[in-house]
Amino acid sequence: MGDNGGMSDPALAPRNAFVGVLIVWAVAVVASIGVGVFVSSEWRVPWLIVAFGGIVLLSFATQLWYGRTQGFILRVGGSTIGALLLMGVISIGFGLAALVT
């Protein structure tokens, strides 16, 4: 019988895909709070855009580290859209706080 190449064994206990999404969301919350606290108000939006670019790269890296192709686009999309929404809500909070003071 000929050798058709090595077959890969299925993962018996694959990593939880949702953990990678939660990690990206947690980093997005920490990054947006850090930008809101440490950056002056006129530079806050450009730095939030830079932070979101880093979040997108982190999302890709986290899901590539997961090592499964099934649902890759869904996981990356969910983590980046969720991070965008979280960062937007936090930036709205900082914007409203700047209006009050």
pLDDT tens, 64-92?
988 788 889 999 999 999 999 999 999 99
For residue 32, the model assigns a pLDDT of 96
Return all residues near 20 (Cβ < 8 A) that are at least 6 apart: 62, 63, 65, 66, 75, 79
CB-CB contact of 39 with 55 (8 Å) = no
Confidence at 50, pLDDT banded by 50, 70, 90: very high
Give me 34's structure tokens. Answer: 């850090």
